[in-house]
Amino acid sequence: MQSNFFKSSSILRKFLVFNLIVFLFLGIITFLYLQAIKPDLIQNRSDQHSMIIDNTSNHINRLNIEFTKEGITEFLLSARFLFQNLDRVQLYDLNSNLLADTDTLDLAQDIFAPSESIQETSIDKSDESLDVNKKLVSDKKATFNTESFVKEYSKQKNVNKKKLVIGETINNSFYVMTINTINFNGENKGYIVVSEIANDILVAVEERKNFILRSVFLVAIVILIFSVFLNKYILKPIRSLVLYTKAIKEKDVKIGKHEKYFLRKDEVGQLSRSLNAMTEDLYKRINIAETFSSDLAHEIRNPLTSLKGAAEVLENTLDNEKRKKLIKVISHDVERIERLITDYSQMLKDEASLSRAKMKKIDLSHVISSVVEDFNSDLLNLDKNIKIKINNSKLNGSKLNVLGVESKLEQIVANLLDNAVSFSPTNGKISINCNLKKDNVQLIIEDEGPGFNEKNIDKVFNRFYSNRPEKFGEHSGLGLNIVKNIIELHGGSIIASNQPSDKKGARIEVLLPIYK
């Protein structure tokens, strides 16, 4: 079910779901990390306490301190340097009775130093002195009872091997307490409690928590902004293009919503323009196919009608001369149909192969020379006194480089020469002029035939058009149309015209883009 969801859902939904999963994973990791910060910091602080506890135990052993209230109190007074950075140190006996507590001792040296001066106090001022002493006591730090923690620790098993670490908030302050045993010659003598105000741990935890929360918030904002950008500038256009393709498939006329993306210069704009061009080309090909099918059916229908009529007349004709004429008509009609089908099939193959072929840089002058050489050999073998001449004088050594498919360029030249030869009279001449015109290669083919009789000369490029009824079976009328299609697929153009009035014949001009 989950795989189906990801297959059918949109990119934005997948993106949001993926980020949600990542956020949940990071949230769990963050929660575990925040939960581990405080214990780790407490443990680090306790490790410092352990060093002091070890030093204290070593001093007690080395000095053979009696583990009594008097002995421990004297030790605390003499070893005050061990506890300079601590808030409180307490020692208990094995019965969890407090022996000494730094909170009840003033470790300042000047307090315990003997005073040589004696200050007299009058009786009436004794109360005032007592008040001062009470005030001094009240100014000391408030103490708290750790006896319960010691009792809890004393009940633990393996007490010699493991210390007890406590993090507790007492009197609005956070304390870290470490409880361990005091060993004397391998024997437990009592317990030591080291406690320290550790509000900095809470501050550190809070700072890290705030940093992580701020980071998560910023990442969420960035992802949100990116999601909006992704949806508006990428996914929404893609959805429009998808709807556009669906509309084409369903033949819906409302397919213009994607046109606003044409002006974009990014990949979405390129995709929109490419898709639109492909669609237009598709419709163009569909229209051409429909028109061509209709024209082909019409062109075949004419010789079929003639063929049917000739066959019906032939059946009832006894005159040999008429029968020969009818048989000749039938033969011409069959040749016409065969030529139409052959050329049409070849044209479709040419268009398909050209669309798949890879264009490359080609020197058109070499192609022209090769085709002209083949034509001159054929004309010589057929005893046709028609000469084809190539004029490259205006090139001045420049090459006619174009981007194209060599076989198709040869077909262009061959079809144009074939058309010129079919119209040229005996002893006629065909000239091929090669020039460079601005950014195009110019190819002009001129013959000495009758020229074009049509008022609209562009009609000669229409499919199945032919103005040679005397050669009805030999040509399908597709030659010039095929040439025009190939030239246009190469990005060029073709123009047909008659030569000036002082000359006779047709003139075909071909322009192909120069490939630099």
What average pLDDT is seen over the chain? 77
pLDDT of 477 over the 90 cut: no
**Buried residues in 62-95 as b, exposed as e (16+ CB within 10 A):** eeebebeeebbbebbeebbebbeeebbbbbbbee
Q: What is the pLDDT of residue 108?
A: 41
State the pLDDT at residue 513: 92
45-58 per-position pLDDT tens digit: 888 888 888 888 88
Q: Specify whether the CB–CB gap between 441 and 402 falls below 8 A.
A: yes
Report percent pLDDT > 70 for the chain: 79
Please report the pLDDT score of residue 289 as a whole number. Answer: 72
| pLDDT tens-digit readout, 135-159 | 433 444 445 678 888 888 888 765 4
Q: Which of 192-196, 311-315, 382-386 has the lowest mean pLDDT?
A: 382-386
pLDDT tens-place string over residues 287-300:
777 776 776 776 67
Residue 161 pLDDT class (50, 70, 90 cuts): low
Share of residues in the chain with pLDDT > 90 (%): 4
Per-residue confidence band for 383, with pLDDT thresholds at 50, 70 and 90: low
Amino acid, single-letter form, for residue 203: V
What pLDDT does 6 receive?
45
Q: What is the mean pLDDT of residues 15-21?
A: 80
Whether the per-residue pLDDT at 510 is higher than 90: the answer is yes
User: What mean pLDDT do residues 176-195 have?
Assistant: 85
Amino acid 359: pLDDT: 85
Residue extents of the structural domains in the chain = 2-110+141-206, 262-356, 358-516
Among 8-12, 227-231, 259-263, 509-513, the range scoring the smallest mean pLDDT is 8-12
**pLDDT above 70 (res 118):** no
Local confidence band at 381 (pLDDT 50, 70, 90 cut-offs): low
CA distances from 463 to 175, 294, 422 (A): 99, 11, 18
pLDDT band per the 50, 70, 90 thresholds, residue 5: very low
For every residue of 186-235, DSSP letters joined together read TEEEEEEEEEEE-HHHHHHHHHHHHHHHHHHHHHHHHHHHHHHHHIIIII
Coil, strand or helix at 288: helix
Q: 262-356, which class in CATH?
A: mainly alpha
CATH class held by domain 2-110+141-206 = alpha beta
pLDDT at 509: 92
pLDDT tens-digit series, residues 480-501: 888 888 888 888 999 988 888 7
Q: Read off the pTM.
A: 0.47
Q: What's the average model confidence in pLDDT over 424-448? A: 88
Q: What's the confidence (pLDDT) of residue 334?
A: 83
Q: What is the pLDDT of residue 9?
A: 58
Q: What is the pLDDT of residue 16?
A: 77
Q: What are the pLDDT digits (tens) for 212-230? A: 888 888 888 888 888 888 7
Considering only 159-168, 407-416, 447-456, which range has the smallest mean pLDDT?
Answer: 159-168
Domain covering 358-516 in this structure, CATH number: 3.30.565.10
Which of 250 and 326 is assigned the larger pLDDT? 326
pLDDT of residue 512: 93
pLDDT at 119 over 50: no
Q: Which of 68, 77, 126 is nearest to 98 (CA)?
A: 68
Q: Are 490 and 474 in contact (CB under 8 A)?
A: no
| Three-state DSSP string of 98-128 | EEEEHHHCCCCHHHHCCCCCCCCCCHHHHHH
